[in-house]
Amino acid sequence: MKEFYDKIRQSSLFLSISEKQCQQFFDIYPPMIHQYEKDEVIVSRSEHFHKIGLIIKGKATVHQDTSYGTSNVITWLNEMDTFAEVLMFIPSESYPTSITAAASTQVLFIEPSQITLVIDSIKDVQHILLLNVTKLIAQKAFLLHRKVEILTIKSIKSKICHYLLHESEKAGLSTFEVSLNRDQMASYLHVSRPSLSRELKVLQVDNVIKFKGNRFEITDRYRCEKIASEE
């Protein structure tokens, strides 16, 4: 169990919680870990799902399926990422998207009552968990704002530059790697894969960016920022 405690303590959900506190918590609430295989649905849209999920192994896709049979990727969940924090506070609502395993994936589930129903022996742990959940909700509200920003941008070049500038700022470098492959990037930017590839090549020919695979370099930040700000 020590390896399990060490791993989950790397997550934002269990941030600042000691190994001893983890042990105390899971002595009372044994870990609920579910295994999902690639393409297996973890959560379905409109499902009444009211547990916090923590990806402890593998990865998953959060997507919005349309009535036309298409699926728009909203984001990706990697190891130590969480989902469904908001719904612990609004149990009457159903889940707004679908989540599907993108590889063999293990998920740890935490029931809201395990955090909100105070037990004296673990109340310190529950307090930290509640604070961490609040921070996670705030972070995801900000990410949602970024997604809305991208969706309101009409130009494909502007979408690309907006996305790459953010990734560069996140890495703190002009040369960086992105976590999305081309299909994922196209879905995230809400453009077609051929259009994305074409505009990436144009930006490279124009010496705004350089790229090879998932490694990018912003070679002309001024022009990149100018393109990103265009309507």
The distance from CA 171 to its chain's CA centroid, rounded to whole angstroms, is 16
Q: Model's pTM, two decimal places?
A: 0.73
Average pLDDT, the chain: 91
Residue predicted with more confidence, 20 or 149: 20
In sequence order, the 6+-apart residues with CB closer than 8 A to the CB of 88 are 50, 51, 52, 112, 115, 116, 133
Q: Residue 16 sits in a domain of what CATH number?
A: 2.60.120.10
In this predicted model, which residue has the larger pLDDT, 187 or 36?
A: 36
Going by pLDDT thresholds of 50, 70 and 90, the confidence category of residue 1 is confident
User: How far is the CA of 97 from the CAs of 63, 81, 94, 101, 184, in angstroms?
Assistant: 6, 16, 9, 14, 17
- Do residues 98 and 48 touch, judged by C-beta distance below 8 A? no
Average pLDDT value for residue range 41-48: 90
Q: Give the pLDDT confidence score for residue 106 in this predicted structure.
A: 97
| Contact present, 42 and 52 (Cβ < 8 Å) | no
103 and 185 belong to one structural domain: no
Which CATH number belongs to the domain containing residue 171 in this structure? Answer: 1.10.10.10
Q: Distance between the two ends of the chain, CA-based, in angstroms?
A: 53
Identify whether residues 178 and 121 lie together within a single domain: no
CB 59 within 8 A of CB 102: yes
Same domain, 136 and 182: no
Give 188 or 137, the one with higher predicted confidence. 137
**Count of the separate structural domains present in the chain:** 2
pLDDT greater than 80 at residue 78: yes
pLDDT, average across residues 60-77 = 77
Name which residue leads in pLDDT, 162 or 64.
Answer: 162
Of 106, 141, 176, the last residue of a domain is: 141
What does the DSSP 8-state code read for residue 93?
S
The reply to whether 75 and 51 lie within a common domain is yes
Contacts of 228 (CB under 8 A, 6+ apart): 158, 161, 162, 165
Is the Cα torsion angle 49, 53, 73, 223 positive or negative in sign?
positive
Co-location of 119 and 173 in the same domain: no
Q: Has residue 149 been placed in a domain? A: no
Rounded to an integer, the average pLDDT of 127-156 is 88
pLDDT of residue 223: 96
pLDDT digits (tens, 9 = 90+) for 193-215: 999 999 999 999 999 999 999 99
Residues 41 and 65 in one domain: yes
Is it the case that residue 37 has pLDDT exceeding 70? yes
Q: Are residues 127 and 191 in the same domain?
A: no
Mean pLDDT of 170-191: 89
Mean pLDDT lowest for which of 43-57, 60-74, 106-120, 133-147? 60-74
Q: Which of 115, 141, 167 is the last residue of a domain?
A: 141
148: exposed, middle or buried (C-beta count within 10 Å: 0-12, 13-18, 19+)? exposed
Same domain? For 115 and 188 the reply is no
Residues 43 and 99 sit within 8 Å (Cβ to Cβ): yes
Q: Which residues span the domain enclosing 165? A: 154-228
Q: List Cβ neighbours of 208 (8 Å cut-off, separation of 6 or more).
A: 161, 218, 219, 220, 223, 224, 227
Q: CA-CA distance, 202 to 18, in Å (whole number)?
A: 50
| Domain limit, last residue, from 141, 176, 197 | 141
Q: State which of 86-95, 123-132, 162-171 shows the largest mean pLDDT.
A: 123-132
